[in-house]
A and B are shown apart, each in its own frame.
Chain A
Amino acid sequence: MGPPTVTDPRYYHKVVDCQWACPAHTNVPQYLRLIGQGRYADSYLLNRESNVFPGILGRTCDRPCEPACRRGRVDEKPVAICRLKRVAADLRGDIADRLPKAPPAKNGKRVALVGAGPSSLTVANDLLPLGYDVTIYERHARPGGLMRFSIPSFRLPASVIDEECGYVIGMGAVMKYETPVTSMRTLLDEGYDAIFVGSGAPKGKDLDIPGRHDAATIHLGLDWLAGVHFGHIERIEPRVLIIGVGNTAMDCCRTSKRLGAKDVTVVARRSRAHFKASPWELEDAEEEGVQIVENHAPTRFVVEAGVLTGMEFERLEWSTDASGRQVSRVVGSVVIPCDAVILAIGQDNAVPWIESDLGIEFAARHMPIVDKVTHQSTRPGVFFGGDAAWGPANIIWAVAHGHQAAISIHLHCSGRPLTDRLPPGMTLTSTKLGMGAWEYSNDYNPSPRAKMQHEELVKRFSDVSVEVELGFTPEQAAREVERCLNCDIQTAFTDKLCIECDACVDICPTSCLTITPARNTEAELRQQLSAPALNTSQALFQSGPLPQTKRLMVKDEDVCLHCGLCADRCPTAAWDMQRFDLKLAYAGTEAR
C-alpha cells in the first residue's frame, strides 16, 4: 500500500477533524465561517443539509466534533462548535421559503415510518422532496420522540422542537399521532413500499435487587422524565439518589433539583474517567449543587415499613488485571440515606410488536439484525435506524442513520440494488485572491474558548422550563469563529512546480513540513521530519519525487494551522490553499 492519496476525498475529509468525527459529516468550518460573516440563515441551511436539526443539536448534541477539533491539539480547548451552531439557529430569521419542498406530483411510492423521532424525521426529510408519500406513526400527540419527552425543557425548549420537526412535517408527511404500532404484520398488510422502524430505545433498564418493588419512590429514569414532561410528576422527595452516570442521569438529577429535591446525589459504579455523561453536563450538574459519588455498586434498597429510607452500596476499588481489563474489588459497604431513587443505568430498544414469523430476525437481547451500511433488516423493504437499530446513541447518530436509510429506501423503491450507493465526492477551489490575500480569515486568533453564560441558579430552579444556557451573543460568536483553524482550507501541493527553496519549511509555525529523501516505511519517515510526527492517527502527506533532487515534500497533518503561510511564501504557487467541499450523497443524489 502506497502513501495516502489526496485524490481520494477521504484524505482531505480526514484532515477536517470535526467533519470526519461527525456521524452526519456536517461541514463545520464552512458553517462557522458563515456565522462569522453574520450569514446566519446561510449557515443554518448548510447545517440543515446534513444534520436536519441545527437548533436542537446546537443545544443537545453529544458533540463528537469537539474532542476531535484540531484546536484542542494546539491550544488545549476546542472551538465551541456546538454552541455556535445554536447561534446560527437562534439568529437565522425567516428561512421558510428556502427549505426543500415536496413536488406537487408524487412518485407513487408509499413509505411508513414508525416513530416521529430524529431518525424517522430525517428519512421523511430526504424522501418527501423526491415525491414519496410518507406516513409517520407516532405513539404520542406531538413529534420529536425522545428529544421531546426525555430531554428536559431547561436544556431544549419545546418551541425549538416544534419548529424544526415542523419544517419536515410541513413538506407534507401524513402524521398519525397517538397511533402506536402494535403489529408489524398489520403494518405490512397496508402495502407500503418500504417501512422504516425508528421507534428508538424507549425502555429504561431496571435494577433487580432486593427491595426494588417494595417502595413507591423508586423510578425508571426515562419514564420519570416523561412523567415530568407530561405534567404527571410535579414534585420529588427531598433526598434523591440517581443510579447511573450517563446523560439521562444528568437530566434526572438536574430535573430533581427543579422539582423540590434538596439533596441530590449521583452514584456511579466506576471512576470519573469512565463516566458516560458528557463532561459539560457533569459540570452543569455540579454547578447546580449535585453531588457525584464514584466507585459505588448498589446492592439493595433499604425499605422500612413500605418507605424507602436509603440504599446500600458496595464500595469498589478498580485495578487492571493481567489482560488489561478493569476489575473491581469490594472494600466495604455503606448505606446512603434517601427518600427517592431514580434508575438511569441505560435503556433498551423494545419492539415486542414485531411478530417473529415475518422474516425479521433478531440476535441476542432482542436486537434486530440490521445491515450496518444499508440499514435493511433481514426482510427486504424493512429498515431500521436510530436507537431502534443498534441501541442507544445520540441524536446526531439517528440523523446519520436516517440519511443512509433514506438512500436505501429510495434504491429499494427504484428497484436498484442497495449497494448502488454513490461514494462521497469533493470539490477543491483555490482561495487565492492575490499576493498575500486569501478569501478566508487565516490569521490565528489566540483568544481562549468562549464561556457560555448560564441563567442564575435561583431563576433556573423556579421553573423546569427556564433554559439554562443563554447562548452566545453575535460578538461572542464572531470571536469564537475566529478560533476555528479552517481545516477545510487544504494545503494542496503540485510536485512539478516546486523548486525546493525551503521557504514553506522555514515559515511553517508548527514545523509540519519537511523535504526529505523517500524512506522504506511511513514509520521510518515519521522520525525524519522537522518535528517528529508522533500522532499516528493523523495522516502524512507525501508528494511525488520533486523535480530537482527527487526528494519528497512531506507534511504532517497533525498540527497544521491552515494559516496559509506556506502558500504565502511559495514563489511558484506549488502550495495553494484550496477550499475542500465534501459532496455527500443523499437519497436521490445521482452521478456527479
Chain B
Amino acid sequence: MTSINKPAVRHPSAKKNQIGLSRADYEGGMSTLCAGCGHDSVTAALIQSFWELDLPPHRAAKMSGIGCSSKTTAYFMRQSHGFNAVHGRMPSVTTGANAANRELTYIGISGDGDSLNIGFGQLAHAIRRNVNMLYVIENNGVYGLTKGQFSASADLGSTSRKGEVNEQTPIDPVLLALTLGATFVARSFSGDKAQLVPILKAALTHRGFALVDVISPCVSFNDHEGSAKSYAYVRSHEVETVQADFVPLRREIKVPEEHEEVTVVRLHDGSQVRLRSTTAGYNPRSRDSAYRHVQACIKKGEVATGILFIDDAGRDMHDMQRTVPEPLTRQPFELLCPGSAALERLMERYR
C-alpha cells in the first residue's frame, strides 16, 4: 500500500497524444499490490501502449477474473468500461461482450492461476474462437493472493519460498496457444518494457486473439533462489528470439520494406509489425517453427521471448459466426428479438 495518492503533477515536458490525452489520463487508481510486483510494471507498459496508440479510453473494455493479476485492471484507464468476472471466467464473459459489441477494444488481464488452473477450459475455447482481444497472462508461477502455493505454470523442479519442490509438469501458455490455433502468440518479461510495449501495441492492433504471456515476478512469494520466475532468473535465462517494432500506419517508413533479417507483417489497419529474429532460420509466421523453437528453449532452460508467432490473416469469431458488421448493440430490438411468431416460423422448419 502506498501512503498517498499519486500527486496530480506531471513532468513539464509531458506530451499529449493525437487525441489530446497525456499518459496520466490513461492511469487508474493507486495499486494495492505488493511493492515491487511485476504486475505494476505490466500496468505501466499497458498505459504506455494505450497512450502511444491514441486509444480512446471510452472505447475500451477492461476484463478480468480473480487474483492479483486481475486487480490490475483497476490501475489503468479509469475512464473505460470494465468487468471483473468470476474466477477463471473472464474469457467467456469477454466472448459474450465481444459478440454483443465488436467495436470495443477488449483488454483481458489474467494470471497463471486464473487462466491455467481454474479458467483453463475457458481460455482454451476463447483461443479456438479467435475472440478479437488482447489477452495478457501476468505469469508468476504462484498463487500470490493465497501466499505462494505453486500454480499450473510453476516449472518442474522449482522451489517454493520455504523450499518445497514442484513435481508436476507445468502448462506453458505459449505452447498451449500455438497448439490451439491462436493467431498472435508472444512472451515477454515485466522487467523489460522496451520489449513489452511494442508487443502490447502489436497485440492490441492485431485482429483476433492475441495472447501475451508476461513473466511477472511475485516479489513476495516467488523471487527467491530456486524460483524460475524471479527477476534474477528471468534476466539470466531470457533469450529474445524475435525483436519487434510496431510501426503505426501514419508513420512514414524509411527503411527498406523487407530484407533478409526483417519480416514485415502488415496488420489489418495498415500498421506494421517489423520482426527481426535473433535465431537463424526462425520464422515468426510459421506455427511449426515457433512450436519447435519454444520447446527446444524449454529443454535448455531458456525463456524464449518476443512475438513468437503471428498470423494476421486469421478469421476471428465474428467471421466464423458470420455476424453482421454493425455491432449487435446497435441493431434495432425487433431485429434481435423478432418475437414468438418468428420463433414459431423457425421451429416449423425443423418439424
Question: Quick one: CB contact mask for A546-583 with B, threshold 8 Å, 1 for yes?
Answer: 00110000000001010111001111100000000000
Contacts of B12 in A (CB 8 A): 73-74, 559
Question: Quick one: CB contact mask for A132-169 with B, threshold 8 Å, 1 for yes?
Answer: 00000000000000000000000000000000000000
Residues 492-549 of A at the B interface (beta carbon under 8 Å)? 499-503, 505-507, 509-512, 531-532, 534, 548-549
Interface majority SS (helix, strand, loop, mixed), chain B: loop
Asked if residues B40 and A506 are in contact (CB atoms below 8 Å), the reply is yes
Give A75 to B219 CA distance when docked, in angstroms. Answer: 36
Asked if residues B4 and A443 are in contact (CB atoms below 8 Å), the reply is yes
Contacts of A512 in B (CB 8 A): 11
Q: Is A318 an interface residue (CB 8 A)?
A: no
Asked if residues B8 and A548 are in contact (CB atoms below 8 Å), the reply is no
Q: How large is the interface on B (under 10, 10 to 19, 20 to 34, 35 or more residues)?
A: 35 or more
Q: Is A322 an interface residue (CB 8 A)?
A: no
Q: Is B175 an interface residue (CB 8 A)?
A: no
Q: Is A436 an interface residue (CB 8 A)?
A: yes
Give A548 to B6 CA distance when docked, in angstroms. Answer: 28
Asked if residues B7 and A436 are in contact (CB atoms below 8 Å), the reply is no
Quick one: given A499-B223, A509-B9, are A442 and B231 in contact (CB under 8 Å)? no
Surface stretch bound by A, among B30-38, B86-94, B323-331: B30-38
Q: Give the Cβ gap from B46 to chain A, nearest Cβ, in Å.
A: 11
What residue in chain B is nearest A434 (Cβ atoms)?
Answer: B3
Q: Is B156 an interface residue (CB 8 A)?
A: no
Asked if residues A442 and B9 are in contact (CB atoms below 8 Å), the reply is no
Give A436 to B24 CA distance when docked, in angstroms. Answer: 22
Contacts of B11 in A (CB 8 A): 510-512, 531, 559
Most chain B CB within 10 A, of A438, A561, A569, A572, is at: A569
Asked if residues A563 and B4 are in contact (CB atoms below 8 Å), the reply is yes
Q: Give the Cβ gap from A446 to chain B, nearest Cβ, in Å.
A: 6
Q: Is B13 an interface residue (CB 8 A)?
A: yes
Q: Is B95 an interface residue (CB 8 A)?
A: no
Q: Is A437 an interface residue (CB 8 A)?
A: yes
What residue in chain A is nearest B23 (Cβ atoms)?
Answer: A511
Q: Give the Cβ gap from B214 to chain A, nearest Cβ, in Å.
A: 13
Interface majority SS (helix, strand, loop, mixed), chain A: loop
Asked if residues A506 and B43 are in contact (CB atoms below 8 Å), the reply is yes
What residue in chain B is nearest A559 (Cβ atoms)?
Answer: B11
Asked if residues B10 and A438 are in contact (CB atoms below 8 Å), the reply is no
What residue in chain A is nearest B43 (Cβ atoms)?
Answer: A506
Question: Quick one: CB contact mask for A426-455 with B, threshold 8 Å, 1 for yes?
Answer: 000000000111100011101000000000
Asked if residues A499 and B231 are in contact (CB atoms below 8 Å), the reply is yes
Question: Quick one: CB contact mask for A256-284 with B, threshold 8 Å, 1 for yes?
Answer: 00000000000000000000000000000
Asked if residues B1 and A503 are in contact (CB atoms below 8 Å), the reply is no
Asked if residues A500 and B10 are in contact (CB atoms below 8 Å), the reply is no
Give A85 to B27 CA distance when docked, in angstroms. Answer: 38
Most chain A CB within 10 A, of B4, B217, B220, is at: B4
Asked if residues A568 and B36 are in contact (CB atoms below 8 Å), the reply is no
Quick one: given A501-B219, A571-B34, are A509 and B40 in contact (CB under 8 Å)? no
Q: Give the Cβ gap from B142 to chain A, nearest Cβ, in Å.
A: 15
Give A549 to B235 CA distance when docked, in angstroms. Answer: 8
Q: Can you name 17 A-B pairs with beta carbons within 8 Å?
A: A436-B1, A438-B3, A499-B36, A500-B191, A500-B235, A501-B36, A502-B41, A503-B37, A503-B40, A503-B41, A506-B40, A506-B41, A507-B6, A509-B24, A510-B11, A511-B14, A569-B31
5 residue pairs, one from A and one from B, having the closest CB atoms? A571-B36, A444-B7, A506-B44, A436-B3, A531-B11
